[in-house]
Each structure stands twice: as structure tokens, then as C-alpha cells.
Amino acid sequence: MSGDRNPARPGRGWPELTWPPLARPLHPGAWWLWALGLAVAASRTTNPLLLAMILAVAAYVVVRRRGDAPWALSFRMYLALGAFIIVMRVAFRVVFGGGQGDTVLFTLPEIPLPEAAAGIRLFGEVAAEQLLGGFYDGLRLATMVVCVGAANSLADPKRMLKALPGALYEVGASVVVALTVAPQLVESVRRVRRARRLRGAGGKGRRALRGIIIPVLEDALNRSLALAAAMASRGYGRTGGADPRTRLITGVLVIVGLVGVCGGLYGVLDAAAPALLGAPLLLGGGAVALAGLLVGGRRVRRTGYRPDRWRPAELLTAGAGVTTAALMFLTAGVDPDNLYPSLSPLSWPELSLVPVLAVLAGVLPAFLTPEPPRSAAPPAGVPRAGGVESGTGAAPAAPSAPAANGAEPRKEPVP
């Protein structure tokens, strides 16, 4: 029938014409580009208001668009890691000084050091400027870590493996195992804690930690080894049939390109770096690395089952991250004062329109992308396997046996 035709059927590469879009997973590369855009924007500012907005945007998108897979539960761990980074940065400023300030809050006993450690101070006067400096730096680093955690919570690492270029096919198993370490640790913690509760094991503190950490490490290691073995049985990690000259050229191009990308990223993130160390080196290194990947990909011939395609939702997600980073770079060149609040003298952080719009652009995937598919759960009242209704603890009454003469069985009154 013509009425059953849907021009937005998944798998054909056509745009989603229905609203709301049909539930489907997004390309993992789109989520990583979106998250890296937010991380780059966070690296260009120490304004706590903007950093708090970036954290809120990342958390909101994760809540709206994460599924119920094990890797989707790792976002809390990254939030805890970010809080730990902030506390440690402030503590280092207290212990090692980390700059002077006019607004002294309190004074700790200073520990004298030998002349060989000149320039290092342990404890002593603690000023508001150095505490705020540590807090701003820690918050910026924590925001970047949380953005990476958002990508880990939203992107399926196994689907990411299919999007790897052919030159990385041989190290695909290592890449996927490395990306799934944190989600598997979170899943292992949940499994071990649930098992301890079922066994009635209680206690808190060091005793509970000893009873959790060893099973967690063992379970995570076993799951990683099982994943690596399954991938190795499917050909990942095998040695491609290429001559040594092609391997040498591919390796040199990729390594030189990645070194150039690292140097270019350092130049882009450091405002005091020379101009040639920034975008030119980043683009040149990316081009060399891409050439190496193309040369290495020619010797690998593989097919993909139901390959992930880039559709309008993926382009919008990646474009939101790129827009956030681009607008933040534009603000850094036009109005840098609002991006870096003054510590000497102390001043309240302020906001301007362009960086606020840059951060708000990152929240678009929460509304304009399809929801991820979730594992089906039977609604309340529908019998599960085994005859137990969902949402109740009682099993339905067994039907009575038919009468021997073929008559209808007598119906028992329902209590």
C-alpha cells in the first residue's frame, strides 16, 4: 500500500522527514565532534559563569540523549573526577603557594626549605587571588574532562569501531578496549554493589572498599579480555598484506601528522604561543595524518554491515560543537576581558552576548536529534516470561482443565 511508505526509513540515507524523528542512535563521530567543540570552547576561558554553562549544557544533553547501555552510565564518574580535579588544584595552591595576592585570608605555618628549593614555598599566607586562580584553572580542566565524559556516555564505542579508517583497522581492538575501560568499570561497580546487597553484605568505609575493589577490577579485566578475544576472532588486530615500504611510509606519515596536530593544538590553546605554532601547524599536521590514513587504508579491504551514515541530525550535532568553538575563538580575539576575569585586582566575572550564544548553541542536539533506542520493557499488566505480571508480584491463575465430555469448564469465582 502506498500509505505505508515512509520516505524517512532508516538505513537508506534519506533525511528524517517525520517529527519527532524516529528513535535511532546517532553516529558516534558526531557526538565526539560535538563534545570536542565544547572542550575547545572551555579551554579558551576561565570565566566560571561560562564554564558552569558549558557543564550544564553537557549534562543536559547527556540526560536527554543517552541510552540505557552500560557506557551511558559513566557520566557520574566524570563529574566526580572533575570535582576531584578542582579540589586538588585549590589544595596545591594552598600547599605550594602558587602566586601572591593582596587579599590575605589566613596564614598557615610556613615550612622552611633549603636553598636548592628557592622559589618554592610550603604553606604560609593564603590569599584570595591564589585560591580563585586555582579554582578557575581547576574548573576549566574539569569542564574539559566532563565534555570528554559526555562523549563517552553518548557515543557507542562498538559502533565507533566501524567508523575507524582502514589504516587503524589493525589497532581497532586496542582502541575500542581503551574507550570502554571507564564504562566497564562503572558497570562492574554497579554489578558488584548489587550482588553485595543481594547477599546482605553491609558496611561502609575501608572494609566495604576492600570487598568491592578486587571484584570490580577482576570483572572489568574479564570483560575487556572477552571483548578483545571476540574482536580478534573477527579479524581485528590482524596484520594486513602490505610490503614493508608501504608500512614505513604509512607509519611515518601518521606519526609526523599526529605530532603536528599535537603541536598545533598546543599553539591554538595557548594564547601566548607564536602564530605559526597554532592553526597552520594544526592544519598541516592534520593533512599529513590524513594522507597517511588514506595510504594505509588502501591495503585493507573490508565490508561493513549496515554502516552508519551521516544524516541531518549528525551534521547538526557536529555543527553545534564546531559553532561553539568558533564563536568562542571569535570572542577571544574581539573581547578577551570577559573570558579571563581579572585576579589582580579582583573583579566579578561578567558575561557578554557572543560567548553566551556560543555555549547555548551546544544545547541544540538535546532538542533537534532523535532519541536513542532503549531496551524494550513490558508495560504494567503484561505477563512476563514465566507468567508473572510486570509491576505485580502475583502470577496469573492457571486455566482449569477441560471437561472429559467436551463441555465448557466450570469457571471459578474470582476472589
Q: For position 239, what pLDDT does the model report?
A: 56
CA 284 – CA 292 distance, rounded (Å)? 13
CA 105 to chain centre: 38
CA 139 – CA 131 distance, rounded (Å)? 12
Residue 37 banded pLDDT, cuts 50, 70, 90: very high
CB 29 within 8 A of CB 307: no
Q: For position 323, what pLDDT does the model report?
A: 93
pLDDT greater than 70 at residue 339: yes
Cell, residue 201: 553484605
Per-range mean pLDDT, top range of 5-19, 32-46, 264-278: 32-46
Q: What is the pTM of this model?
A: 0.71
Residue 289 banded pLDDT, cuts 50, 70, 90: confident
CB 17 within 8 A of CB 323: no
Cell, residue 196: 553485595
CA 319 to chain centre: 17
Q: For position 28, what pLDDT does the model report?
A: 87
CB 124 within 8 A of CB 68: no
Q: For position 397, what pLDDT does the model report?
A: 40
Q: pLDDT per residue over 238-271, tens digit each? A: 555 566 777 777 778 888 888 888 888 777 766 6
CA 108 – CA 106 distance, rounded (Å)? 7
State the chain's mean pLDDT as an integer: 75
Q: For position 408, what pLDDT does the model report?
A: 44
Lowest mean pLDDT among 21-30, 111-120, 138-147, 257-266: 111-120
Q: For position 66, what pLDDT does the model report?
A: 86
Q: For position 122, what pLDDT does the model report?
A: 80
Q: Where are the alpha helices (DSSP H) in 270-406?
A: 279-297, 312-334, 353-361, 365-368
Q: Is 51 exposed, middle or buried, given 0-12, 13-18 or 19+ CB atoms closer than 10 A?
A: buried
Q: What is the b/e burial string over 15-46, where b = at least 16 CB atoms within 10 angstroms of the residue's CB?
A: ebeeeebeebbbbbbbbbbbbbbbbbbbbbbb
Using the 8-state DSSP alphabet, how is residue 395 labeled? P
pLDDT greater than 80 at residue 141: yes
The CA–CA distances, whole Å, from 325 to 23, 41, 185, 270, 298 equal 28, 5, 31, 15, 33
Q: pLDDT per residue over 216-232, tens digit each? A: 877 777 777 777 777 67
The CA–CA distances, whole Å, from 133 to 86, 91, 99, 121, 136 equal 11, 11, 9, 17, 5
CB 163 within 8 A of CB 295: no
Q: For position 170, what pLDDT does the model report?
A: 61
Residue with cell 571483548: 227
CA 138 – CA 93 distance, rounded (Å)? 11
CB 138 within 8 A of CB 89: yes
Q: pLDDT per residue over 151-180, tens digit each? A: 988 887 777 777 766 666 666 666 666 666
From the list 127, 144, 124, 153, the residue with the least C-alpha distance to 62 is 153
pLDDT greater than 80 at residue 63: yes
